[in-house]
Amino acid sequence: MRPFAALALCVCLLTSGTAMAKGWLETPFTADQIHASCADGTKMSILFVDAKGTRTIRDWLFHGATDKDVLVQSTTRDDAGHEVDPTADKKHTWVELQRHARYANDDATRARSEFETRLGHVQGWVYDVNEAGPDGAPTHTRLWFADLLPGPPLRMEVMVGDVTVMTMEVLSRSPMPELPAAPEPAPAPEAPPAPAATP
């Protein structure tokens, strides 16, 4: 199931258009947008928390990019900074990466939204995906994609039934584009004047 494949890599990076084959939702980004956003030297640190509360951080480095593919170097460490998995490189074509983020119309919906992230206040797409897990249990995955940051979702949450089995957040990313400031809260309406006292 894709939500669980996302646990393994969760790149969710997205051919030159966002429209997929009939029966699939559009992806949040085009391959050209991701290629431009994840240029050589792009770094990301991503926090994963499992159902037991165990926290791991994956550091990604994008390098060796071509028009066809890219190498993603991944290092996994614990909260204290100790490496828990050896550093490894894996090559992905842009088409493969796009397919990590495709969701069937029958299983998923998407909506425009504004939301807060570790990287700031952003606008983008929120995808809700409902599928059956490996044991048949209903699985709900929510992913938050920012318009100005093509690449992985800035947040992801996976629930099996009523239990959250995994969360993911992008902690840092460089280089970072300048994000617009969060909108100012609307002023509170003025209270109506008190009625005049009657003699």
Q: Which of 142, 145, 172 shows the shortest CA–CA distance to 18?
A: 145
Output the DSSP codes for 11-49: -------S--STTBPPPSS-HHHHHHHT-TT-EEEEEEE
How confident is the model over 97-119, as a mean pLDDT?
Answer: 91
Which tokens is 29 given? 């980004």
**Residue 120: count of CB within 10 angstroms of its CB:** 16
Asked if residue 100 lies in contact with residue 11, where contact means CB atoms within 8 angstroms, the answer is yes
Identify the pLDDT of residue 12: 44
Q: Lowest mean pLDDT of 33-42, 75-84, 146-155, 186-195, name the range.
A: 186-195
| Confidence category of residue 127, pLDDT binned at 50, 70, 90 | very high
Higher-pLDDT residue of 31, 123: 123
Fold of 2-172: YmcC-like fold (2.40.360)
The 10s digit of each residue's pLDDT in 155-179 is: 999 999 999 999 999 999 999 888 7
For residue 44, what are the CA distances in angstroms to 34, 54, 85, 145?
14, 20, 17, 15
What phi, psi does 146 have (nearest 5°)?
-95, 135
Which has the minimum average pLDDT: 30-39, 140-149, 160-169, 189-198?
189-198
Query: Would you call 101 helix, strand, or coil by DSSP?
Result: coil
Query: Domain boundaries in the chain?
Result: 2-172
- Give me the pLDDT at residue 98, please: 78
Q: Is the pLDDT of residue 1 over 70?
A: no
DSSP-derived 3-state class of residue 59 = strand
